[in-house]
Amino acid sequence: MTQFALVRSLDALVRHNVRFIVIGGVAGRAWGSPSMTDDLDICYDRRRDNLESLANALIDLKATLRGAPFQLDAQTLRAGDSFTFITTAGSLDCLGTPAPTTGYDELLRNASEVELEHLEVLVCSLDDLMRMKRAANRPKDRIELEILAAVKEEREKLGL
């Protein structure tokens, strides 16, 4: 298993001008969750030009689809929606329309630009992240929802 290297994943996405929003555990950490994660989850813009950029970033990261042979190009990305990759920088999950959202454009409305690993990237809002965790409803998501609710309460007390 490849060790998770967040900066390498983010750097490849930024260098290839991929339009994406950080979601999942890294977004939770950006908002103050102490929970650790060993992968990067993103919601990507599904427009044609961005699929080319995403494919180039994934090729740069030597991405392979977890558990299946895969032709890595924009056309294949267009045919699917959610992909779980293993890359030279660790696990990278690319979701076009994470439940219960309609995708990138919806998340973009509430996203914030945040500095992660010295790179400016868009991170989904805490409320949107909580909505996605609620929809996933896995045991780990229910636990993280409790943590995120406490983070939200603390941020509100501090006026953030």
Q: For the chain, which residues make up each domain, given as ranges? A: 6-155
Query: Under a CB-based contact definition with an 8 Å cutoff, are residues 122 and 104 in contact?
Result: no
Is 70 exceeded by the pLDDT of residue 126?
yes
- Tell me the pLDDT of the chain averaged across its residues: 95
Looking at CATH, the fold of the domain delimited by 6-155 is given as Beta Polymerase; domain 2 (3.30.460)
pLDDT tens column, 42-63: 999 999 999 999 999 999 999 9
Q: Which amino acid would we find at residue 111?
A: A
**pLDDT by residue (tens digit) across 8-22?**
999 999 999 999 999
pLDDT at 115: 94
Residue 81: burial class (beta carbons within 10 Å; 0-12, 13-18, 19+): middle
Question: What pLDDT sits at residue 66?
Answer: 85
